[in-house]
Amino acid sequence: MIRRETENGWILITQRDHSLLSGKIMKGWGNSKFATPEPYDEVMFAVAEHDCGWELWEENPRINPVNKYPKNFLEMNYSDQVSIWKRSFLKHSKKHPYASSLIALHFDKFNSSILRKNKNALLLKSQIKEFVLENLGLKHTGQQSLSEQIINNLKFVQIGDIISLALCHGWRSTQIDDIPYRLNGKNISILLSSDDGLNYKINPFPFSKFPITLNIEGKIIDRKTFTNNYEFLKAYKTSQKTNLKFTINN
């Protein structure tokens, strides 16, 4: 769940809708300076489906017991995180092994960041490695390192994720580093900025056309905190929907 703060409460956006927005964003990626990913369809599938494992949890979201806010994706306990991550990269693994491997690698980045805090993260790291080697056909080749193409395609998943998160939250300025750059073969940074959290500029501009117009549905919650999960769920299930409209320009 994503919390977009308003004056009196929140606009709540599901992770599922956020990931679908990521896919719409990245479909326009690529021009004379920025290459499109290959294999295109599989990478785009990974971008759009990277949070598909959230659907079950988001049917009955909960509050953060500490701040009493609707719980967002950064406030999950580790066991819930692992279940969600696994559902995300296992759901399409039979039909889309390449895309599913990119999704698994995407979550491995998050899992690796908490290795020092949680020893259980070592088990998931091992499971992800086994999953990726198997689904990329590397398990019996002796090859343990990932190719440059796979690393770059993982970056496309991460880029789509970050841009979508910026739009959904209404962040005013977001720098994204390590972007594959066609002109000199090196990686560069891009800056996403906005004065109002709806209309954005990105520099240098990585898309094939402009402006890009996007939208996402959210639910209006007219208060910040809730006493318990039941109280929040009642408000969430009966809340009014809203449609956030975005533009990305050069």
Lowest mean pLDDT among 51-65, 137-151, 174-188, 197-211: 137-151
Lowest mean pLDDT among 17-21, 30-34, 145-149, 229-233: 145-149
Is 190 in contact with 203 (CB distance < 8 Å)? yes
Q: What is the pLDDT of residues 214-225, one digit of tens each?
A: 999 999 999 999
**Across residues 60-74, what is the average pLDDT?**
97
Of residues 198, 182, 3, 201, the one with CA closest to residue 190: 201
Query: Tokens 């009014």 — which residue?
Result: 240
What does the pLDDT read at residue 112?
Answer: 82
44 is written with which tokens? 């785009």
Q: What is the pLDDT of residues 18-62, one digit of tens each?
A: 999 999 999 999 999 999 999 999 999 999 999 999 999 999 999
How far apart CA 174 and CA 162 sit, in angstroms, is 8
Is 208 in contact with 31 (CB distance < 8 Å)? yes
Q: What is the pLDDT of residues 182-191, one digit of tens each?
A: 866 789 999 9
Residue 230 exposed, middle or buried by CB count within 10 Å (0-12, 13-18, 19+): exposed
Mean pLDDT of the chain: 94
pLDDT tier at 145 (50, 70, 90 boundaries)? confident
Of residues 181, 139, 153, 149, the one with CA closest to residue 30: 181
Is 107 in contact with 49 (CB distance < 8 Å)? no
Percent of the chain whose predicted confidence (pLDDT) is above 90: 85
* Residue scoring higher pLDDT (118 or 79): 79
76 is written with which tokens? 């999950």
Residue 84: what are its φ and ψ, rounded to 5°?
A: -65, -45
* 139, pLDDT greater than 80: no
Of residues 165, 143, 146, the one with CA closest to residue 101: 146
2 is written with which tokens? 């994503």
What does the pLDDT read at residue 182?
Answer: 81
What does the pLDDT read at residue 117?
Answer: 76
Residue type, 224: K
CA 110 to chain centre: 11
* 205, pLDDT greater than 70: yes
**How many other C-beta atoms are found inside a 10 Å radius of the C-beta of residue 213?**
11
* 77, pLDDT greater than 80: yes
CA 211 to chain centre: 22
**Across residues 216-245, what is the average pLDDT?**
98
Pairing of strands 173-180, 199-203: unpaired
Q: What is the largest CA-CA distance in the chain?
A: 57
Query: Tokens 């999953």 — which residue?
Result: 131
What does the pLDDT read at residue 111?
Answer: 85
* 92, pLDDT greater than 90: yes
Handedness of CA 101, 102, 107, 113 (dihedral sign): positive
**Across residues 74-96, what is the average pLDDT?**
96
What does the pLDDT read at residue 198?
Answer: 99
What does the pLDDT read at residue 90?
Answer: 98
What does the pLDDT read at residue 109?
Answer: 87
Say which DSSP state 169 is in: H
How far apart CA 35 and CA 201 sit, in angstroms, is 20
What does the pLDDT read at residue 43?
Answer: 98
